[in-house]
Amino acid sequence: MSTVTSVEKSVHASVWQGSKKLVRVRRAIALGWLHVAEARLRNMLKWWVAISVVGLGNPVLYLFSVGIGIGALVNANGGSGQLGGVSYLTFLAPALLSSAAVVAFQDETSFPVLEGFLWNKIFFAMNATPITGRSIVGGVLAAAFVRALFTVVLYEGVLLIFGAITTAVLVPMFFSAMFAGLAFGSGMLAAASFVKEDEGFFAVVGRFVVAPMMLFSGTFYPLESMPIYLQWVGWISPLWHATDLGRTLSYGHPQQLWVIISHWVYLALWVFVGIPIANRKIAKRLAA
């Protein structure tokens, strides 16, 4: 028998067995989100250098330039009194941590949707399997969560080294930051699911959503020091709610109970409104 013949035979014998029981359908449907997340993470790993550099570079640069640079000026001019008696670095830390989580979630909920529907059309490939629109939404968010988790943990490490936070507040600050990210990510995913052309989308989001949110959400100064007619930007921004929450959790920034509860409720609202919108819109686009 020639080599070619034996190879041909092995190909014939092995590629298809027509096994009806190969796919455990219920399991595949139930864990669909996990399989989408796995694919997303595998894809993300191709960018691990960029993700790590941004994850580590951002906090280091921010803390040196704003935290220490501007902080020295604020602290020297009695700013601590306006900041609840803490250093500028301590005041800044929860805001920077939350915004890092927000940006990580933004990256991982906007690009993959455009990739899935427009660039690679990989969502359509997923939907040719037991994967549903709902699994895609769950998987994209879960993978974004992992990316944000990596970023936040890295950020907290740098904050610890800079002395901006103590180990006692690592866990509560982690939760407030991740919740901010999840809230914004859910909204971002819902918004991205409507995008039919990528031209201008990221510029609009970056310039008119993320940048103003960073600047007007009490990140670099207390929201109350803004004119009242601009404070609404902070009130609608998930970043301000998470930052205020983080400040209470980290250094005991005094806040009324109803405000604290409203922070949690408002962030949860973004999650519970954003996800169903994304579920519905993505399912509709897949079925078109």
Binding site for another protein (CB under 8 A): 7, 10-12, 14-20, 22-25, 27-29, 31-32, 35-36, 38-39, 42-43, 46, 119-122, 124-132, 286-288
Q: Which is nearer to another protein, 130 or 234 (CB)?
A: 130
Q: In this structure, which long-range contacts are made by residues 74-82, counting pairs with CB atoms below 8 Å and at least 24 apart in sequence?
A: 82/222, 82/225
- DSSP classification of residue 119: I
Q: What is the dihedral of CA 81, 82, 87, 88, to 10 degrees?
A: -150
Q: Minimum CB separation from another protein for residue 33, in Å?
A: 11
- DSSP classification of residue 237: -
- Nearest CA-CA partner of 154 in 177, 131, 137, 127: 177
Q: Minimum CB separation from another protein for residue 49, in Å?
A: 14
Q: Which is nearer to another protein, 50 or 257 (CB)?
A: 50
Q: Which is nearer to another protein, 77 or 129 (CB)?
A: 129
Q: Minimum CB separation from another protein for residue 102, in Å?
A: 24
Q: Minimum CB separation from another protein for residue 115, in Å?
A: 8
With tokens 């921004």, the residue in question is 237
Q: Minimum CB separation from another protein for residue 194, in Å?
A: 19
Which residues make Cβ contacts (< 8 Å) with residue 83, sequence separation at least 6?
Answer: 74, 91, 222
Q: Which is nearer to another protein, 51 or 95 (CB)?
A: 51
Q: Which is nearer to another protein, 99 or 193 (CB)?
A: 193
Q: Minimum CB separation from another protein for residue 107, in Å?
A: 14
Q: Minimum CB separation from another protein for residue 127, in Å?
A: 6
Give the C-alpha distances (Å, rounded to integers) separating 71 from 53, 162, 164: 24, 13, 11
Which residues make Cβ contacts (< 8 Å) with residue 161, sequence separation at least 6?
Answer: none
Give the C-alpha distances (Å, rounded to integers) separating 246 from 64, 235, 277: 21, 15, 28
Q: Which is nearer to another protein, 28 or 273 (CB)?
A: 28
CA contacts within 13 A on the Cβ side of 258: 0
Q: Which is nearer to another protein, 24 or 207 (CB)?
A: 24
